[in-house]
Structure 1
Amino acid sequence: MNRTDRLYALTEELRRAGSNGRTSAELAMKFEVSGRTIKRDILALQESGVPIWAQGGSGGGYKLDASASLPPLNFTPAQAIAVAVALASAQRAPFALDGATALAKVFDILDADSRRRAEALGARIWVNGDPSNLPPGATVGRAAGARVIEEALHRGLVVVLDYIDAHGARTRRRVEPIMLALTYGYWYLIGWCRERDAVRWFRWDRVRNARLTKEAVHQRELSVIGEFPPTAHSVRPEPIPGDA
């Protein structure tokens, strides 16, 4: 998550917390940054006029003034795609059609640039909807450094992974993210491995650490990965027939 998105998300988190507020430790854990970073972000928000109060001592933390008005409903591109991923991963859940309609409305309220960015990101996140591809005991784990990987895909930057392979060997890989995919019961980062000079699939729950670099990826077409099964689709939303 870049700083602009994090500042917006911090404000919304404090708004939801209401009079209970949030401590810097709680915010640091939620946003996977240091406590020092949270304090700098809060100061930046305060200097920009957001009415956030700091309360010291036992039970202290940060609180958003109750007089702060509720802003118009809005989403960042990453938040819109997070909703799309959640819906795509549970497409057989109750109210799935209503969820798809709600997702279309989320995209409708994005400005043109945000919608373009969200659609570009969604095109690189795929879900295999075939229920027969879920092996016994499979679990959809979350990678260590997941936010770093998400940001690398979103921003088109090389990411350095500390990775445990299928044989238990620990390796360090410089990876150009191409897409994320949910299949066979696991999330995978599919990317161009600089060490192997080829496409590799990195299982999400085998990543032990991830570090973002400032190096831009080479733009590669999804076709370098190979042919997708007919049951797989991206989370980029499609128009809903008959939806008004």
Structure 2
Amino acid sequence: MRRAERLHAISESLRRSGIRGISADRLAAEFGVSVRTIKRDIDALENSGAPVWARPGPGGGYGLAAGSTLPPVTLSPTQAVALMAAVSAAADAPYADLANAGVRKIIDVLDPLTRSRAEALADRVWVNTESPVSRATGSALEAAMAEQKVVRIDYVAASGDATTRDVEPVLFASTNGQWYLVGWCRLRDAMRWFKLSRITRASVTTLDCTGHTVAEVGEPPAGARPVHDGARISPDQR
């Protein structure tokens, strides 16, 4: 990992540590460098204007001042292409359109030389993906999840049986190359996993969800993971 990338990663670790902070020893172990290197990196962040605080003594460490923002960090061309490739290869993922727009904003604010190099490198990365879900259906599912509204879906099971169900969306999950809507099915009065490619139609109702949580999905065996912390979950067989 280059130093600029490590500085950005360290700043993110400091931000996530909150008021507890994080020790130099833990940062050194996380990034595979010496404690002396971490302290030099912390000094560099402070000199760049990052509001780093330090708490000395046993149990001490480093953190960022509450409510602070970090100075902008410029992406390398390869980092920019990594973002473009990841988003382009996940065209079937929920909120893919918004992710693509977000990456485009990042690319647009890069300095001209970095942007030019990133776009030249991006020409050497090809993807060929299609979403099995129509844009209208995907938008309805995404809106229902974000607004926590009941969504009415037309669903075709593996057996070929077609049903219309009202579902309280709880989470989206990807496992074994397939995306699922996981939610409380009011038809079955139970938590169910619905493969997105089998949802032929979806519409957001005016009904509020009743508060079903991710914990109700069950113990998470290996297979999928929340994007924020790497915990793993996978769908039960229906």
TM-score (norm 2): 0.43
Greater RCO between the two (CA within 8 Å, min separation 6)?
1
User: Which is greater in Rg?
Assistant: 2
